[in-house]
């Protein structure tokens, strides 16, 4: 039985709190995405020791099509056993790092900072092995 994946990203940047003087605005009618064709998801909590690397568990999702991470601090992530690293940095004044991607993912490694345990939550979605 298919599951529903629904997400909405509305980014509105203005020079005034009343919403006037818009610098960037994504059309709200195009911001919501609904996909009813995926069959699996896996989610859970993360706790990665300082300077350690952990491979994210995909559970029974063999063909991952998207991922959401919410982390307590800075991290380095690597997709699909590649050599390119993505460095996530917590913005000043923020309590969490949030990362969202829709892509084919075969592996996701997360490395915690050298002096800090990294905690958080994650969700992946996609399909079982064919």
Q: How far apart are CA 110 and CA 112, in angstroms?
A: 7
Sole residue written with tokens 């690597």: 78
Q: Tens digit of pLDDT for each residue in 113-123?
A: 999 999 999 99
Which pTM value belongs to this model? Answer: 0.82
Compute how many other C-beta atoms are within 10 angstroms of the C-beta atom of residue 5: 18
CATH tag, 40-127: 2.60.120.1540
Q: Is the pLDDT of residue 48 over 70?
A: yes
CA neighbor of 75 nearest in space, from 48, 57, 100, 93: 48
> Structural domain boundaries of the chain?
1-37, 40-127
Banded model confidence at residue 11, pLDDT cuts 50, 70, 90 = confident
């Amino acid at each position: 039985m298919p599951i529903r994946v629904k997400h909405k990203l509305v980014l509105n940047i203005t020079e005034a709190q009343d919403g006037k003087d818009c610098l960037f605005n994504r059309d709200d009618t195009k911001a919501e995405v609904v996909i009813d064709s995926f069959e699996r998801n896996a989610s859970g909590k993360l706790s990665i020791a300082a300077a350690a690397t952990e491979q994210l568990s995909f559970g029974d999702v063999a063909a991952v099509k998207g991922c959401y991470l919410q982390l307590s601090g800075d991290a380095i992530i690597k997709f699909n056993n590649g050599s390119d690293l993505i460095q996530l940095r917590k913005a000043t004044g923020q309590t969490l790092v949030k990362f969202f991607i829709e892509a084919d993912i075969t592996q996701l490694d997360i490395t915690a900072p050298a002096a800090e345990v990294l905690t958080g939550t994650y969700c992946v979605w996609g399909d079982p092995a064919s």
